[in-house]
Amino acid sequence: MNVRRPEGGDAAALKDFFRRLPAADRNFFKEDVLDAATVESWLGDRRARRALAFDDDGRVVGYAAVIPSPGWSKHVGEIRLVVDRDERRKGIGRALSRWAVLEAARLGLSKVYVEIVADQEAAILMFQNLGFTGEALLKDHVQDRQGRPHDLVILSLSLADSYSAMATLGMDDV
């Protein structure tokens, strides 16, 4: 597996990745990831940091982003992450989440958070194992494409307080 920032020539592979995801996995994206203009705009976005995970055949099998907040929350960033359903439980999500935490530190952020639908227990556990803690449970906060409500969990990590923990996890190369 190779994890790197996307390049201009990766747009088609990234779009193909999002098309391969089952509709249920695309339910909770904040943006329309099937919209070509949306995906292409990410490649030119200078504020956010994005990474792609590629398998040995050069297919995108994972995506991560660190999106700094504007204004009075400019010290905070959101992490977004998705892994191809057939490639889960192989360490790709963990590699991408570690990349995201390190990238957030490089951006000078002091706090990161991730929003996860409450029934995605494996994702919640993965982030908790990286030191994220629960900040909020928002009941019926998001709806899937069929209009069904779901609870949203918000987990966060204070980077300012976590450098020794990051070293313990082998993430001290910032």
Instruction: Determine the structural domain holding residue 18 and report its residue range.
Output: 2-168
Phi-psi label, residue 45: left if phi above 0, alpha if psi -120 to 50, beta otherwise: beta
Report pLDDT for 173: 56
Q: Which of 8-22, 50-64, 113-127, 133-147 has the lowest mean pLDDT?
A: 8-22
- The whole-chain average pLDDT of the chain stands at 87
In a domain, 174, yes or no: no
Model-level pTM greater than 0.75? yes
155 class by beta-carbon count within 10 Å (0-12 exposed, 13-18 middle, 19+ buried): buried
In a domain, 141, yes or no: yes
What the block records as the tokens of 72 is 């009075």
Mean pLDDT of all residues in 50-63: 92
Could you tell me what percent of the chain has a pLDDT over 70?
93
Residue 166 confidence class, pLDDT cut points 50, 70, 90 = low
What is the distance in angstroms between the CA of the first residue and the CA of the last residue of the chain? 21
In a domain, 140, yes or no: yes
168 contacts 112 by C-beta, under 8 angstroms: no
In a domain, 114, yes or no: yes
Q: How many helices (H) and strands (E) does the chain have?
A: 6, 7
Tell me the chain's radius of gyration from C-alpha atoms.
Answer: 16
In a domain, 28, yes or no: yes
Q: Provide the number of structural domains found in the chain.
A: 1
Q: Indicate the DSSP class of residue 85.
A: G
Residue 149, domain CATH: 3.40.630.30
Among 78, 102, 93, which Cα is nearest to 29's? 78
Could you tell me what percent of the chain has a pLDDT over 90?
54
Q: Is the predicted pLDDT of residue 92 greater than 70, yes or no?
A: yes
In a domain, 13, yes or no: yes
In a domain, 173, yes or no: no
Q: DSSP states of 28-50 as a string?
A: T-SS-TT-HHHHHHHHT-SSSEE
Q: From CA 108, how far away is CA 29, in angstroms rounded? A: 26
In a domain, 96, yes or no: yes
Mean pLDDT of all residues in 110-127: 93
33 contacts 18 by C-beta, under 8 angstroms: yes
